[in-house]
Amino acid sequence: MIEVKRKEGESINAFLYRFTTKIKQSGILIEAKKRRYRNRPVSKIKRKLSALHREQKKKEFRKARKMGLA
């Protein structure tokens, strides 16, 4: 929990600037934006297909590298 108190004689603009910088430095804003929407978990089938696709691309890249194309 971040606590920012207004200094005596401090303008509202200066206080607001100080507050926003503290919030940005703490990472609270980024965390709140991440939690704003919940992502649905990826199904097992899609994960497996994705892994197979990655493996295929790696094989193609290795083959191209051996041939001097990559």
Give the integer Cα–Cα distance in Å for 10 and 31. 29
Domain annotation covers residue 69? yes
Sign of CA dihedral 31, 33, 36, 41: negative
Q: What is the pLDDT of residue 62?
A: 96
Question: How many Cα atoms within 13 Å fall on the side-chain side of residue 26?
Answer: 13
Q: Say what the pLDDT of residue 8 is.
A: 93
Please report, as a single letter, which amino acid is at residue 20. T
- In a domain, residue 61? The reply is yes
pLDDT tens for the chain, residues 1 to 70? 788 999 999 999 999 999 999 999 999 888 888 889 888 899 999 999 999 999 999 999 999 999 998 7
Same domain, 32 and 13: yes
Q: Does residue 32 form part of some domain?
A: yes
**Spatial contact of 4 and 28, defined as CB atoms under 8 Å apart:** no
Tell me if the pTM is above 0.85: no
pLDDT confidence of residue 22: 93
**Separation between Cα atoms, residue 7 and residue 14, nearest integer Å:** 10
Residue range(s) defining the domain that contains residue 50: 43-70
Does residue 67 lie within any of the structural domains? yes
